[in-house]
């Protein structure tokens, strides 16, 4: 199988670990060019709707970062993309096309809320929060494990296994809300509001929850894993050539399990943070689109966990700014999805390694 | 029972058209993950076409074009530029979702509200005499036009793949593009055309939803049907009739769920809604390694 | 046959130039082929034979030069145009669709089969032509079910049915057992008798002398000589090929072999039908045989990349039959795979990372689970010096190195571990003479240090030159083993034909 890693530079080239060399990296230039092209495409579409592209972009920028409150909202928006996206990046590095982040986030949300609602009232808040987040991560990993077992045990392509399970996971959320976790008489499928003690606290000044900081630390740790550990080396070898990985003595099954569980746990954690920090309850469809955008972000970050940080910020800021653009000047916020799709297409075209 | 089967056929029709398109793409060696986006673009274009052009024919024509545009995008990036098939398909799906939602609002004159378009549904075209046959008459010979088209498509695609030089070249490209090239075919052209045609046919699948079943376009109205079509063509072993059978099974599963709801059977509808996906997974898992993919699928062409 | 083609050549190629990057694979080649004649195109690996023929067949555009076929110029063409003009090519790696039947393969890309395929009529023509040329082909048989010799006949059948006037055969005997070769040469003679021109690409002298009318020798992308076969001697042709006088210099013989280091008993696996041998310290066992008779299966089963179904492998007395690849490395088994591009090396990774590929758990590369970049680079610099690996630095991607330097990375990694046993598969394939010498010398040094070497190669001459004993692999088993001193070429030829015939 040739994963996207075979089409993206495997990056064993003289790259100082833990140090970004975006400025000198030709890959970075190509990715930035791809982003610029997709913004150009977006500008054309804005013009089509009868508005000025520059005005629209300005409104978007102000909406995303015009105030401390808005920056906080944008960072909150970025967090799940960064967590799930850097996990996906690691999978893609190994040539494993995990597009199950959506389902893993959804199930992570179920896990976190289940733990949170079961927490005894007297528990110290920090402990309760950690328990709920752990519940989310474990649930996400478990959901990834289902896909991995089908993939490894029965040789079903991982794209199909993870993709089909996404749909099941979203229905699982609905089932949980219709049953044990639901709030009766709400009219919507949602859980009761979580106890205040279990909400993620707000950071001073910017009103973001600390999830973004956790995600940053995770990205740094993953970059370390990728470049400075034997596991990371094995992932990179496997992504570049499966026969070479077997020859090097790495077990592909074990690598797949390792990286899938890791990515699943991170996506689950993303779901838990989203539920505890933003929604404060489980809502039907809260994970919608996160999983696919995690793929966008991973590719945009050239499958380098540290470079996924700006990539996730780009998407997070876009989305945070889009609603305000729609409110302010009436350009539909659906434009963001166009930009994301175009960016992904252009990045794919720009990062193919030509023989 | 007839009603149940009718519902199964109704649900299977858009899946089948998309799966037929996907067969072209995958037999030529390109994974058809972009079916969802192609269907969505087709559904949208059909709505706009029928609304602006004032006729279902205009809608169908534009649906072909709309799906083909997404097919073209996939073909350029995944075939011409040799990017990963699967991820390109996903990107195309995101792009189609964004583009259709955005344009639907632009069509309403900008702003956040989508255009509200209501179209008359394409009704059944009963075939004289045959439609009066008991049971089968109603099921097979009193269907709306695009359903006939899907059935004819099965026959036409089977003949095309098995009995024509072009079909032979297409399959050869998916099995061994170097050999196809040496035998005089042009694998790049074959794959590009196959993916674009895949888009057009899957676009018709989308048109079934908007013109024949719903009568309007809503954001993301395909709701994962493209992925189910993908699963069904794999389960159907890349043959038109195999895919048709798989689509019918998925259609029956969903029809069954609708029945349960009407009769108030105490089974959660969410669990039943999972059925098509779980069936697809189960069949893929049972097939396991024996699901012999076209040998060169997903492999980019040499220069 | 048209008389006009007798006077002027069937094919005239003039001044063909084709470069790949900095390498001039074809550097101004002229080539004429007459109708009713078989032209031998001789040259070592990498001398430009295949490139020239791909240019002729329209698979590669030339950088310069002209082609005239049957009086008409061919330029900017694709295979389809070459075929329409009457040229057919039988590739070394058959260009057949394994999943399709013989008749489908024949119809593919053939206008006469019709836009709507006339399968029954075409099957009848396949049967008829198959009878006429004694090809013994069933039109409805899936290609995947045919042995290699039969698949080649499908290719020849395609050429015959399309009425090709010029057939190009690229190394047509490399996949065949000797008995199949005789059948092929008989078919070629029949085609010549019908007045068709044939280009026979090979690097095997005896076949050239047996069937060709004249020979053109390529060396380093240029024509090194051309001569009628009548009166040419193998020695003379060989000197044209390599540009120096060659006497296959046998390697210095081993000292008295030591104790048994690798013992293989009744090893079975898919493609292996019970291989038994013992390999002593201080000796090289050369394994000859036609490709596809279990070479890759034997190498990979020994290396732990394929599972053994039965039998026993012991290394210095330890049973490693079911050990993992990594455990075998630790036990002292080194392996140089034939597939340099995707198995032995990761081309996108640096020289240093490739040097640690199989040793990433050990110092100086790692401490525990953590890698040491400094240790890796330091070690890489040492090895690059010791093994003369020419690269800009330890961080250069391995794929940027020449083939010879890439193989030196593999040699350095596998030999520097001081293994007890080395399994080497096609270790000199595609290397220039200097790099070949380097690889063989290192292997001899390893042997003289007391290690055991299993040297698997389809180049019989090389196996005879380096092996202390010679084994022949045929149909997944050893057809025979003989000491080099006692090696008898006709006997080895018979073994190679073995049970595969």
Per-position DSSP letters for A282-342, written without gaps between them: -BTTTTTTHHHHHHHHHHHTTT-HHHHHHHHHHHHHHHHHHHHHHHHH---TTHHHHHHHH
Contact (CB<8Å) A4/B274: no
Residues comprising chain B, all counted: 303
Contact (CB<8Å) A240/C397: no
Tell which residue, B21, B242, B29, B90, has the closest CA to residue A159: B90
Residue at token pair 């302010």? A328
pLDDT at C250: 61
pLDDT at C358: 96
Contact (CB<8Å) B227/A167: yes
- Which other chains touch chain C, taking contact as 3+ CB pairs less than 8 Å apart? A, B
Nearest residue on chain A to B275, alpha-carbon basis: A168
Q: Is the pLDDT of residue A147 over 90?
A: yes
Domain ranges of chain B: 2-116+128-290
pLDDT at A1: 35
- Tens-place pLDDT, residues A94-122: 999 999 999 999 999 999 999 999 988 88
Question: Which of chain C's residues have a Cβ under 8 Å away from the Cβ of B169?
Answer: 108-109
For A206, the token pair is 């910017």
User: What is the pLDDT confidence band of residue C244, given thresholds at 50, 70 and 90?
Assistant: low
**Preceding omega of C364 cis (within 30 degrees of 0):** yes
Q: What percent of chain C has pLDDT over 70?
A: 93
Instruction: Write down the H helix ranges in C265-348.
Output: 295-303, 325-331
Q: Is the pLDDT of residue A254 over 60?
A: yes
pLDDT at A16: 33
The alpha-carbon gap from B85 to the nearest alpha carbon of chain A, in Å, equals 8
Q: How far is CA C47 from CA B36, C242, C461, in A?
A: 50, 10, 18
Contact (CB<8Å) A237/C349: yes
- Tens-place pLDDT, residues C442-473: 999 999 999 999 999 987 778 888 999 999 99
CATH class of C260-500: alpha beta
Q: Tell me the C-alpha distance between C387 and C435, whole Å.
A: 11
Contact (CB<8Å) A249/C349: no
Q: Mark the ranges of chain B whose per-residue pLDDT is less than 50.
A: none
Nearest residue on chain C to B295, alpha-carbon basis: C99
pLDDT at A24: 40
Look at residue C98 and give its three-state secondary structure. Answer: coil
Q: Tell me the C-alpha distance between A35 and C41, whole Å.
A: 53
Q: Tell me the C-alpha distance between A189 and A169, whole Å.
A: 15
b/e code A251-274 from CB counts within 10 Å (16+ = b): bbeebbbbbbbbbbbbbbbbbbbb
Lowest mean pLDDT across A163-167, B251-255, C322-326 = B251-255
Q: Is the pLDDT of residue C499 over 70?
A: no
Q: Is the pLDDT of residue C7 over 60?
A: no
Task: Please tell me which residue, B127 or A219, carries the higher pLDDT value.
Answer: A219
Report which DSSP code applies to C154: H
User: ipTM greater than 0.85, yes or no?
Assistant: yes
Q: How many helices (H) and strands (E) does chain A have?
A: 13, 0
Question: Which of chain C's residues have a Cβ under 8 Å away from the Cβ of A5?
Answer: none
Q: Is the pLDDT of residue A266 over 60?
A: yes
Average pLDDT score over chain C: 88
Q: Which long-range contacts (CB under 8 A, 24 or more apart) does C254-258 make?
A: C254/C282, C254/C283, C254/C284, C254/C447, C254/C448, C254/C468, C255/C282, C255/C448, C256/C282, C257/C281, C257/C282, C257/C283, C257/C468, C258/C282, C258/C450
- Tens-place pLDDT, residues C165-182: 999 998 888 777 767 788
Say whether C260-500 and C4-242 share the same fold. yes
- Which other chains touch chain A, taking contact as 3+ CB pairs less than 8 Å apart? B, C
User: What is the pLDDT confidence band of residue C128, given thresholds at 50, 70 and 90?
Assistant: very high
Stretch C314-325: mean pLDDT, rounded?
A: 95
Q: B2-116+128-290 has which CATH code? A: 1.10.3470
pLDDT at C45: 66
Tell which residue, A102, C132, A143, C258, has the closest CA to residue B93: A102
Contact (CB<8Å) C395/A246: no
Query: Going from the N-terminus, what domains does chain A have, and what CATH number goes with each?
Result: 79-322 (1.10.3470)
pLDDT at C450: 92
Q: Is the pLDDT of residue C246 over 70?
A: no
Contact (CB<8Å) B165/C107: yes
The contacts of residue C313 (CB under 8 Å, 6+ apart) are: C262, C263, C264, C265, C267, C301, C302, C319, C320, C321
- How much is the pTM? 0.87
Q: Is the pLDDT of residue A17 over 90?
A: no
pLDDT at A15: 35
Nearest residue on chain C to B183, alpha-carbon basis: C109
User: What is the pLDDT confidence band of residue C400, given thresholds at 50, 70 and 90?
Assistant: confident
The alpha-carbon gap from A107 to the nearest alpha carbon of chain B, in Å, equals 15
Contact B78, B89 (CB under 8 A): yes
Q: Is the pLDDT of residue A174 over 50?
A: yes
Phi, then psi, of C262 in degrees rounded to 5 = -120, 125
Contact (CB<8Å) B295/C59: no
In this structure, the number of other CB atoms found within 10 A of the CB of residue A92 comes to 26
Is CATH 3.40.50.300 the right assignment for the domain spanning C4-242? yes
Q: Is the pLDDT of residue A79 over 60?
A: yes
Question: Which of chain C's residues have a Cβ under 8 Å away from the Cβ of A1?
Answer: none
Q: Tell me the C-alpha distance between C394 and C409, whole Å.
A: 11
User: What is the pLDDT confidence band of residue C404, given thresholds at 50, 70 and 90?
Assistant: confident
Q: Is the pLDDT of residue A21 over 70?
A: no
Contact (CB<8Å) C99/B295: yes
Question: Which of chain B's residues have a Cβ under 8 Å away from the Cβ of A299?
Answer: 87
Partners of residue C262 on adjacent β-strands: C279, C315
The contacts of residue C490 (CB under 8 Å, 6+ apart) are: none
For C137, the token pair is 């082909």
pLDDT at A224: 97
Task: Please tell me which residue, A12 or C257, carries the higher pLDDT value.
Answer: C257
Candidates B72, B84, B291: best to mutate against A (most CBs of A within 10 A) is B84
Candidates C95, C115, C118: best to mutate against B (most CBs of B within 10 A) is C95
Partners of residue A60 on adjacent β-strands: none
Contact A178, B273 (CB under 8 A): no
Domain ranges of chain C: 4-242, 260-500
Of A6, A163, A296, the CB nearest to B94: A296
Contact (CB<8Å) B179/C95: yes
pLDDT at C501: 34
Question: Which of chain A's residues have a Cβ under 8 Å away from the Cβ of B81?
Answer: 348-349, 352
Q: Tell me the C-alpha distance between B56 and B25, whole Å.
A: 27
């Amino acid at each position: 199988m040739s994963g996207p890693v075979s089409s993206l530079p495997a990056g064993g080239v003289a790259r100082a670990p833990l140090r970004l060399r975006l400025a000198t990296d030709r890959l970075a230039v190509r990715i930035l060019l791809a982003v610029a092209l997709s913004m150009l495409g977006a500008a054309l579409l804005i013009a089509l709707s009868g508005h000025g592209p520059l005005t629209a972009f300005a409104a978007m920028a102000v909406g995303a970062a015009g105030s401390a409150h808005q920056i906080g909202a944008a960072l909150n928006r970025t967090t799940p993309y960064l967590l799930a996206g850097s996990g996906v990046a690691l999978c893609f590095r190994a040539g494993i096309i995990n597009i199950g982040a959506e389902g893993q986030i959804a199930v992570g949300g179920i896990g976190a809320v289940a733990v949170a609602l079961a927490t005894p009232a007297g528990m110290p808040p920090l402990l309760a929060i950690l328990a709920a987040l752990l519940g989310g991560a474990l649930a996400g990993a478990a959901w990834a494990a289902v896909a991995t077992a089908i993939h490894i045990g029965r040789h079903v392509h991982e794209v199909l296994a993870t993709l089909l399970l996404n749909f099941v996971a979203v229905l699982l959320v609905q089932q949980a809300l219709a049953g044990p976790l639901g709030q009766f008489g709400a009219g919507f499928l949602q859980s009761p509001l979580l106890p205040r003690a279990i909400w993620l606290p707000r950071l001073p000044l910017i009103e973001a929850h600390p999830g973004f900081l956790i995600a940053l630390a995770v990205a740094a740790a993953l970059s370390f894993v990728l470049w400075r550990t034997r596991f990371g080396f094995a992932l990179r070898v496997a992504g570049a050539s499966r026969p070479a990985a077997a020859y090097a003595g790495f077990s592909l099954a074990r690598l797949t399990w390792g990286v899938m569980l890791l990515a699943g746990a991170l996506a689950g954690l993303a779901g838990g943070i989203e539920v505890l920090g933003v929604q404060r309850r489980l809502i039907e469809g809260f994970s919608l689109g996160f999983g696919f955008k995690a793929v966008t972000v991973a590719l945009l970050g050239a499958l380098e966990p540290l470079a996924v940080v700006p990539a996730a910020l780009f998407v997070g800021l876009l989305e945070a700014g889009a609603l305000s653009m729609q409110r302010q000047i009436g350009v539909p916020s659906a434009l963001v999805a166009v930009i994301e799709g175009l960016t992904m297409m252009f990045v794919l075209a720009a990062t193919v390694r030509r023989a | 029972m007839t009603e149940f089967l009718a519902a199964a056929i109704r649900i299977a029709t858009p899946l089948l058209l998309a799966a037929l398109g996907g067969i072209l793409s995958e037999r030529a060696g390109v994974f058809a993950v972009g079916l969802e986006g192609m269907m969505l673009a087709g559904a949208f274009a059909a709505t706009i076409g029928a609304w602006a052009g004032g006729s279902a024919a205009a809608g169908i024509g534009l649906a072909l074009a709309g799906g083909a545009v997404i097919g073209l995008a996939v073909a350029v990036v995944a075939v011409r530029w040799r990017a990963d098939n699967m991820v390109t398909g996903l990107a195309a799906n995101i792009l189609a979702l964004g583009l259709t939602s955005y344009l639907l609002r632009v069509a309403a004159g900008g702003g956040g509200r989508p255009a509200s378009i209501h179209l008359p549904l394409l009704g059944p075209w009963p075939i004289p005499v045959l439609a009066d046959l008991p049971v089968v008459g109603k099921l097979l010979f009193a269907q709306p036009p695009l359903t006939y088209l899907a059935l004819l498509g099965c026959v036409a695609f089977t003949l095309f793949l098995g009995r024509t030089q072009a079909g032979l070249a297409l399959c050869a490209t998916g099995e061994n593009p170097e050999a196809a090239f040496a035998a005089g075919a042009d694998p790049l052209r074959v794959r590009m055309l196959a993916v674009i045609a895949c888009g057009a046919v899957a676009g018709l699948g989308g048109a079934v939803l908007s013109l024949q079943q719903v009568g309007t376009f809503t954001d993301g109205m395909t709701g994962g049907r493209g992925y189910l079509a993908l699963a069904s063509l794999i389960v159907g072993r890349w043959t038109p009739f195999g895919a048709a059978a798989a689509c019918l099974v998925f259609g029956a599963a969903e029809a069954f769920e609708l029945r349960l709801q009407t009769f108030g059977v105490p089974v959660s509808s969410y669990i039943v809604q999972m059925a098509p996906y779980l069936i697809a997974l189960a069949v893929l898992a049972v097939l396991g390694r024996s699901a012999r993919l076209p040998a060169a699928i997903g492999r980019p062409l040499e220069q | 046959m048209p008389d006009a083609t007798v006077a002027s050549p069937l094919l005239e190629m003039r001044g063909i130039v084709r470069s790949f990057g900095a390498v001039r694979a074809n550097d101004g080649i002229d080539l004429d082929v007459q109708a009713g004649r078989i032209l031998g195109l001789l040259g070592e690996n990498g001398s430009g034979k295949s490139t020239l023929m791909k240019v002729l067949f329209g698979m590669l555009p030339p950088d310069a030069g002209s082609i005239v076929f049957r009086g008409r110029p061919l330029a900017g063409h694709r295979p389809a145009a070459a075929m329409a003009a009457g040229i057919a090519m039988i590739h070394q790696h058959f260009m057949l669709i394994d999943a399709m039947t013989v008749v489908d393969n024949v119809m593919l890309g053939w206008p006469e089969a019709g836009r709507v395929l006339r399968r029954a009529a075409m099957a009848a023509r396949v049967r008829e032509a198959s009878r006429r040329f004694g090809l013994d082909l069933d039109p409805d048989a899936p290609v995947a079910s045919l042995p290699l010799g039969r698949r080649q006949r499908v290719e020849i059948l395609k050429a015959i049915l399309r009425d090709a006037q010029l057939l190009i055969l690229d190394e047509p005997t490399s996949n065949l057992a000797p008995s199949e070769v005789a059948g092929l040469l008989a078919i070629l003679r029949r085609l010549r008798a019908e007045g068709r021109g044939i280009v026979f690409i090979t690097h095997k002298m005896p076949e050239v002398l047996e069937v060709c009318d004249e020979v053109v020798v390529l060396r380093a992308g240029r024509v090194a000589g051309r001569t009628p076969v009548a009166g040419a001697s193998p020695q003379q042709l060989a000197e044209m090929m390599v540009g120096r006088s060659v006497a296959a210099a046998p390697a210095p013989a081993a000292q008295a072999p030591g104790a048994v280091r690798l013992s293989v008993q009744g090893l079975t696996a898919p493609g292996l039908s019970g291989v038994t041998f013992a390999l002593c310290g201080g000796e090289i066992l050369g394994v000859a045989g036609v490709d596809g008779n279990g070479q890759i299966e034997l190498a990979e089963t020994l290396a732990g990349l394929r599972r053994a179904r039965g039998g026993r492998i012991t290394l210095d007395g330890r049973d490693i039959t079911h050990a993992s690849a990594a455990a075998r490395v630790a036990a002292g088994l080194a392996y140089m795979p034939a597939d340099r591009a995707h198995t032995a090396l990761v081309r996108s990774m640096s020289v240093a990372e490739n040097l640690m590929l199989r040793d990433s758990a050990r110092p100086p590369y790692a401490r525990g689970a953590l890698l040491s970049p400094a240790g890796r680079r330091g070690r890489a610099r040492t090895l690059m010096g010791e093994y003369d690996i020419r690269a800009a630095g330890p961080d250069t991607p391995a794929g940027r190195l020449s083939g010879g330097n890439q193989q030196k990375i593999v040699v350095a990694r596998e030999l520097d571990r001081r293994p007890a046993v080395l399994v080497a598969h096609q270790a000199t394939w595609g290397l220039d003479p200097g790099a070949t010498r380097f690889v063989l010398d290192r292997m001899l040094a390893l042997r003289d240090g007391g290690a055991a070497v299993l040297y698997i190669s389809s180049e019989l001459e090389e196996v005879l030159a380096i092996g202390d004993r010679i084994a022949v692999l045929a149909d997944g088993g050893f057809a025979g083993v003989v000491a080099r001193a006692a090696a008898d070429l006709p006997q080895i030829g018979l073994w190679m034909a073995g049970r595969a015939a």
